[in-house]
Structure 1
Amino acid sequence: MHRAILAPDFSLSRIVYGMWRLADDEDTSPGHVQAKIETCLSQGITSFDQADIYGGYTAEAVLGGALRAAPHLRDQMEIVSKCGIVAPVGRHAAVGVKHYDTTAAHITASVDQSLTDMGIDRIDLLLIHRPDPLMNHIDTGAALDGLVASGKVRHVGVSNFRPHDFTLLQSAMRTPLVTNQIEMSLLHADPFTNGDLAFLQERAIVPMAWSPLGGGALFKKRNKGLVKLLTAMGEPFGVDAAAVAIAWLMAHPAWIAPVVGTNTLARIATLADACKVTLSREDWYMLYTEATGAEVP
């Protein structure tokens, strides 16, 4: 599998395994989580996407259980995590309202807790999870720089930031922001035309795409025409509609890295099928037209 180069010394697998539902599985045992990781690794998927808030602040600990039971896996993985959302669940159950916290104190405490929960000594890529309307970019930037300097975090980036949020934070940092993880799919194609993707492409910053299958909504009855087209395009490659939908994102020259999540081992075993698909420019626009419901102007 090709790699997505985020920095001269750092890359992600082109497809990233998303762990946002890891703690929701009926089986969260270390052995079952290890099987998921090994199924990814066997396909060349070496990058794993986490966040402190996933599973009500429990998903990182579920991953940590597997890494403690099978410590040899850690050196084969790039671990991505996020912080900055405070929701009234789990360890933050006492807070009065869901909010964002991008203060240096919160970011540092969150990273320390994530390292403890996952049983690791370094996060490979830390993202600020959401833009914070109260963000003091100087404070936040200094915290991220400090975490990289300390060795607790290897690289930093953001998630769900608009270009102006990105440049504001970057203006106060010495360390480059190496990615922006944004929602992109056939059902959420706005970033292809609203400037979000162009901003990253201009700067050679690799975008990560969350919910690349629309959170499963792609396969709802209302999208049967699109699914039929995806299925037909997948047949020559021996893959299903989901693989073609992921390949549609990967065909873009910005080198998008989709974050794909499922708890089913059989589905995990097919995640790399997207790499088998080659789409022509006409194929790409045929899917885009079907998804948006109108031909391009």
Structure 2
Amino acid sequence: MTLATGSPFKHTGELGWAQGYWRLAAWDFSAQETLSFLKGHLDLGVSLVDHADIYGDYRCEQLFGNALAIQPAIRQQLHVVTKCDIQLISASNDVSLNHYDTSAKHIRSSVERSLARLQTDHIDTLLLHRPDLLMDVDEVVSCFNALRSEGKVGAFGVSNFSASQFELLNRGFDHQLVTNQVELNPLSFDAFENGAVDHLQMAGVRPMAWSCLAGGAFFRPQTEQAHRVIACLSQLATKYDTSLEGVIYAWVMRHPSRPIVINGSGKIERLASAMAKSQIILSREDWYRIWVASKGHGVP
């Protein structure tokens, strides 16, 4: 199995969206309701879906798979991303301490469980969820190559990796990592400032942007920083005749690394609104206006 020519992670691709399913267990959807939601975002052109083995206490992949089982042919329209390497204390997991595990044994067992839960024969893209300080690059690369040759995983990437951590793994992997999923929002600049996003741009691959709405902090502000940013966003929403969310997403997508935004809402109307309202191009001055509001000072 090879990465499709139209991969959403190629830097030359169109501005894109992904639908995140980390809250699926909390949405309390039936399998039919999940299928209807899935069809809804496909109708909007969002075919990239984001999962992880641990989401919903190891339940979200199964709930999604139950929906796919109703109409298996719809799987062909999806690009399924899932993640592994976080070991959580759970009734579904035999560990006594939360930790990271990039051993070949754990990666392979996670993939097998994800395939069974998702009720599919392959994962389009597998990400390592968090950096593991004990990661043996040769062991991981060997495991990746085996999973790829077996047709169980099409492509590989990482999540929350620094530029050096990305390069450490990427240099040893012949097929090249296709993305790094990082937090990008006007309250968090780590990935912009630690070289992670710069490195992706240099490598010609696109980041997946999680927590663009900062976990709801823009709607329940608890810090001076959040209040400053919200005031700025509100002014710009009026200026561009859009919504506060629209400005936030446009701010994230304005970056030349061409981030793919992950939507976390379980309401199709919110996704449709976000996609429509973010179709603005912020001026450089207004992009930095948000930066200044967040930092609380002018540019150096």
Same fold (TM > 0.5): yes
Deviation at 1:10?
Answer: 1.6
Question: What is the RMSD of the two structures over their aligned residues, measured on CA atoms?
Answer: 1.8
Q: In the alignment, is the contact (CA less than 8 A) between 1:52 and 1:82 conserved in 2?
A: yes
Alignment of 1:18 with 2:20, yes or no, is: yes
Deviation at 1:70?
Answer: 2.2
Q: Distance in 1 between matches of 2:242 and 2:99?
A: 41
TM-score, normalised with respect to structure 2 = 0.91
Structure 1 unpaired stretches of 5+: 1-5
> Which residue in 1 is equivalent to 2:115?
115
What fraction of aligned residue pairs are identical, expressed as a percent? 37
> Which residue in 2 is equivalent to 1:271?
274
Structure 2 matches for 1:23-172, cutoff 5 A? 23-25=25-27, 27-92=28-93, 94-172=94-172
Deviation at 1:237?
Answer: 5.2
Structure 2 matches for 1:213-292, cutoff 5 A? 213-221=213-221, 222=223, 223-235=226-238, 238-292=241-295
Structure 2 unpaired stretches of 5+: 10-14
Q: In the alignment, is the contact (CA less than 8 A) between 1:237 and 1:276 conserved in 2?
A: no
Deviation at 1:198?
Answer: 1.0
Q: In the alignment, is the contact (CA less than 8 A) between 1:130 and 1:161 conserved in 2?
A: yes
Q: Distance in 2 between matches of 1:237 and 1:121?
A: 45
Q: In the alignment, is the contact (CA less than 8 A) between 2:245 and 2:278 conserved in 1?
A: no
Q: In the alignment, is the contact (CA less than 8 A) between 2:41 and 2:268 conserved in 1?
A: no
Q: In the alignment, is the contact (CA less than 8 A) between 1:36 and 1:268 conserved in 2?
A: no
Amino acid at match of 2:286: D
Q: Distance in 1 between matches of 2:201 and 2:281?
A: 21
146 and 8 in structure 1: CA distance in 2 versus 1, 3 angstrom threshold = same
Q: In the alignment, is the contact (CA less than 8 A) between 2:186 and 2:229 conserved in 1?
A: no
Amino acid at match of 2:69: R
Structure 2 matches for 1:161-200, cutoff 5 A? 161-200=161-200
Deviation at 1:280?
Answer: 0.8
Higher alpha-carbon deviation: 231-240 or 43-52: 231-240
242 and 60 in structure 1: CA distance in 2 versus 1, 3 angstrom threshold = same
Of Structure 1 and Structure 2, the greater strand share is in 1
Q: Distance in 2 between matches of 1:30 and 1:224?
A: 39
What is the DSSP-based 3-state SS (H/G/I as helix, E as strand, rest coil) of the residue aligned with 1:230? Answer: helix
Q: In the alignment, is the contact (CA less than 8 A) between 1:57 and 1:90 conserved in 2?
A: no
Could you list the structure 1 runs, at least 4 aligned residues long, displaced by more than 6 angstroms after superposition: none
Deviation at 1:264?
Answer: 2.9
Q: In the alignment, is the contact (CA less than 8 A) between 1:50 and 1:80 conserved in 2?
A: yes
Amino acid at match of 1:54: Y
The alignment of Structure 1 onto Structure 2 pairs a total of residues equal to: 290
Q: Distance in 1 between matches of 2:240 and 2:49?
A: 26
